[in-house]
Amino acid sequence: MTTTIIGFPRIGENRELKFATEKFFRNEITEKDLLEEGKQIRKKHWLEMNESHLAQIPSNDFSFYDQILDTCFLFNLIPARLAAAKLSPLEKYFALARGYQGSLGDFKAWPMKKWFNTNYHYLVPQLAKETKIKLCGSKIFDEFREAKALGILTRPVLIGPFTLLKLAEFTDGTHYQDLVPDLLAVYTEIITKLGKHGAAWLQIDEPALVSDLDHEEQRFFKQLYETLLAKKGNLKILLQTYFGDVRDIYSELCKLPFDGIGLDFVEGRKTLELVQSGFPADKTLFAGVVNGKNIWRNDYQKTIKLIKDTNVKNYVLSTSCSLLHVPYTTENESFSPEITAHFSFAKEKLSELCDLDNILQTDKNELLRKNQQLFQKARIKENSSLAETINSLKEENFVRTPAFSQRESLQKEIFGLPLLPTTTIGSFPQTREVKKWRAAFKNQKLSQQDYDDFLKKQIKDWINWQEEIGLDVLVHGEFERNDMVEYFGQHLEGYLFSRSAWVQSYGTRAVKPPIIWGDIIRKAPITVKWSTYAQSLTSKPVKGMLTGPVTILNWSFPREDLPLKISAFQLALAIQQEVLDLEKNGIKIIQIDEAALREKLPLRKSDWHADYLDWAIPAFRLTESKVRAETQIHTHMCYSEFTDIIPAIEQMDADVISFEASRSNLEILSALQREHFQTEVGPGVYDIHSPRIPSVAEIKETIRAILAKVPKEKIWINPDCGLKTRGIPETKASLANMTAAAEQIRKELYR
């Protein structure tokens, strides 16, 4: 065994799983149909990995929505009320993923957060005293048997107990230690059953080990695995980590009786140093040397040197993390061969692992020589003027004047908004009709005039509707945009766009990250046309909607030949030009979304500032530093943990910040209160990733909870996020309830 991967993309080469699942949600196919589609996708993936000569293939890395949710259903870690509902197991599963509202009950979805430092979102387990842990599912065994029937002996994958408990939230006084005995009993039962089914290896994923661990956490991990590994029998256990290094617990990992240890050599800045300090001869090193997050070709010469520098003889070549985070294959793209040669998606990374293995095992110099030709000449020519501009930036280029307190007073006087002003985050439903017209225009089946007329009608209808329900600050709806990052990238020099390089973000939601190929320059105004048209239809303020530089960077595939800081500043200068053009054209409120601000934050606090915040926050400030005091700057952030970086967020110096808050039970409010947050805030009052329609009473209760923590003069009322993925009926009903709730609370406050 010399090559493997941690996991494979699961939405299908052409997003088959996404479309089948959405059909199931619309009652267009049966549960049996959906389960069969999943089975066929798994079969195709296993056969492709087998044909690529990958030595060991994972199973149970497939999921209909999320791997943490799968683990919770395997262990019965679900609310008792839902467990008792007269729904099928799959319906219960999707009820926790998306929420359920029907004749059989009303269930809210579990909170959703970013999976470590990626754009993938996981469901956060909500564990309570009523939680009765037991093995109640068979997915891990079923999929192992499926592959075995194809003649493929896989390595099942399972989220480890330490990471599961670290990511879970505990209610009604429950402590994670209360669950340990029963949880370990279930893991032991799984190990025993897998052994009986003929499995040789089990991969236990513990990515939480790459974050800062205190002595108590180290002790707890050791306690868990001393108990668990004592009962592993003949089944070999691979302890798999990714997204960083395990400096806090490396020595303990080496002492524990794991058969293999998987380490990340791409993001793990100390991984090589740790391994060079000594790696046990009785263990196999699963070396994560092929980047599982980015799409550039592996530099074989550097990787071979790295492997040799480890001085480890018993190793397996692997990816740095699951290939869930990259697209399926370059075979479906239409780039020129000269460009495609630089890219490696999931399927191509399988070949890279086999190439590296052949070079190391047989010294095949032809494979190495061909690879090195890619790296021997400059891929692009540097824009020297842009480089000079960035090098000449001074401190004053990142400072907005006057101070926030002066701007706040001026803006309240100018806009004259009521208490608890209502708005939305930006986008409205991207219906089939909208997508159909956009596709027709893209394929040159529709004239510019006809497409513009369609967009004008959409914008006018929604502006009128927003006025009807009483929203205070309106949006144009973003009907012309395919994606909040791709749309901007298409108007910037330096970007490339794939045809079908889809990556799962959460559940059925897939994104197609653009590729930063060269230096980034804004060629012409991007959003002015539609923002000014929308503003011409109403006397109420209409927000100009932009995506911030850090989010554009974090949701793109970045260059590997340039520091992230430089790419961020290139993007910031481009967005700054757009901000100033909007302001010049009469747009008085401009939202610069930084939904992904937290995403690339290092997992270790010691690396936060120097490696990220010291350039990410200035990049945002660069976009707004030249605007007038009376121009109100908003930003938006969602589906990440923000409570521990509130001081850094305040340093962004925006006038209003909206946060995702409803799924996380408004946890961020306590942090804002604790840090004496001065910026005006819009904590989301309902969850847009669920089709549930919140009632007026429910939203009023949420607003009252916000008022208990934030001064009423500082609060904005808005949904959690943009509404592009929702249907029109639920969107209109939810927003109407939101504005009604805000108006009723307003009357109470004005008494």
Per the CB < 8 A criterion, the answer to whether 267 and 297 are in contact is: no
Residues 454, 405: Cα–Cα separation, whole Å: 42
Per the CB < 8 A criterion, the answer to whether 229 and 181 are in contact is: no
Which structure tokens are listed for 278? 């000594």
The burial of 336, by beta-carbon neighbours within 10 Å (0-12 exposed, 13-18 middle, 19 or more buried), is given as exposed
> What 8-state DSSP symbol labels residue 537?
T
Phi-psi region of 278 (alpha: psi -120 to 50; beta: other; left: phi over 0): left
Residues 419, 207: Cα–Cα separation, whole Å: 44
Which residue type, as a one-letter code, is found at position 446? L
CB atoms inside a 10 Å sphere around CB 561: 10
Pairing of strands 100-102, 105-107: antiparallel
Residues 90, 88: Cα–Cα separation, whole Å: 5
* C-alpha distance from residue 562 to each of 175, 231, 521, 558 (Å): 45, 48, 15, 9
Which structure tokens are listed for 214? 């205190």
Catalytic, 215? Answer no
Catalytic residue chosen out of the listed positions 45, 634, 636, 689:
689
68 CB-near residues (< 8 Å, 6+ apart): 122, 123, 124, 125, 159, 164, 167
DSSP state string for 281-346: TTSEEEEEEE-SS--BPP-HHHHHHHHHHHT-SSEEEEESS-GGGS-S-GGG----HHHHTTB--H
> What 8-state DSSP symbol labels residue 427?
B
Active site residues: 689
